[in-house]
Amino acid sequence: MASARWPIRPRQLRPRLGRLTVMSINLDRATAFMTSHARILDRRRFEAIIGNSDAARHAIIRGLDSYRNADGGYGWGLEPDLRAPESQPGGALHAFEALAAADPLTSPHAVALLDWLNSVTLPDGGLPFARPISNPVACAPFWASANPAESSLQITAAVAAEAHRVACFDDEVRDHPWLTTATRYCFESIRRTDEAPFAYVLSFALQLLDIASDTYPEAHELLGHLSRFVPRDGALPVIGGAEGERLHLLHYAPEPGRPLRSLLDPHAVSDDLDRLERAQLPDGGWPAGFASYSDAAVLEWRGHATVSAVAALRMNNR
């Protein structure tokens, strides 16, 4: 089964104003790691959460332009293991992820991205895992070999979850018909799920249901349906992934106070926060936790993982 990553979601990147945050990690080393290793877009995301900077949020929106195509979609390695230039659902996912990190600023290009998604959505309402790739150099095989005629719950839920987060503060995204179409496709697919899904499918479906539960009451029931597949410790082994690869609880439920968190063991949450604190490496960054397919992607994923780790710990007052 195809794999895809970007474990922790952008809503973590919102600054938690008014809360006392005591970081138990070495933030100076994390900052140095970002400066020396990460791409500009992730450095700006890091700056936005650490410095609560509007300048950084504006820079996030502008920074996406270098990955944007004339058709309204995004490519050019915005997904680090999908380096081809064509617009892809994976690029759309990361574009919405970045736009959510710019909250409350909105982008003039968000609606064009939704229009592009609408143009590539399959008749059943789902997105293909990936569209045809003209040059697969340095692209992960699971992207290059995807069937463009088959809908994927994994990528549709992932993109829709990020779009819902942007919709929380952008009315044009909230009211766009693609978001309803994709959400309905995912709900129907989840409703038919009667055995434990692949780890990334389960992770993204849970994230979608959690954020969609703010506006779709039925999402609460579906969360209960899917949560029965989550082990007590929250760790989801990635079958077919790198040796020891797994998704942890904080990968899909980083934010306290959400409906998904209420379904999980509080002791497992605490244990996973401890795990994430301990995972900072001597160079100041966090490991990505999975294999990458180019030297550039290795560094880019580590920058992404470091932003996500710091954001999750900050959100949980660690």
pTM of the model as a whole: 0.92
pLDDT of residue 5: 52
Q: Mapping DSSP to helix (H, G, I), strand (E, B) and coil, where does residue 166 land?
A: helix
pLDDT of residue 22: 53
**15, 49 contact by CB (below 8 A):** yes
pLDDT of residue 214: 96
Q: Sorting pLDDT into bands at 50, 70 and 90, what band is 75?
A: very high
Averaged pLDDT score across all residues of the chain: 93
| pLDDT tens string 84-112 | 999 999 999 999 999 999 999 999 999 99
Which two tokens mark 291? Answer: 């294999």
pLDDT of residue 24: 77
Q: Sorting pLDDT into bands at 50, 70 and 90, what band is 23?
A: low
pLDDT of residue 19: 43
pLDDT at 27 over 50: yes
Burial of 198 (0-12, 13-18, 19+ CB in 10 A): middle
| pLDDT tens string 149-198 | 999 999 999 999 999 999 999 999 999 999 999 999 999 999 999 999 99
- Cα gap 289→271, rounded to integer Å: 18
pLDDT at 55 over 50: yes
Q: Mapping DSSP to helix (H, G, I), strand (E, B) and coil, where does residue 79 land?
A: strand
| pLDDT tens string 29-41 | 999 999 999 999 9
- Cα gap 308→301, rounded to integer Å: 10
Axis-axis angle for helices 153-167, 110-120 (nearest 10) = 160
- Cα gap 118→194, rounded to integer Å: 29
| pLDDT tens string 102-150 | 999 999 999 999 999 999 999 999 999 999 999 999 999 999 999 999 9
| pLDDT tens string 243-290 | 999 999 999 999 999 999 999 999 999 999 999 999 999 999 999 999
- Cα gap 80→255, rounded to integer Å: 25
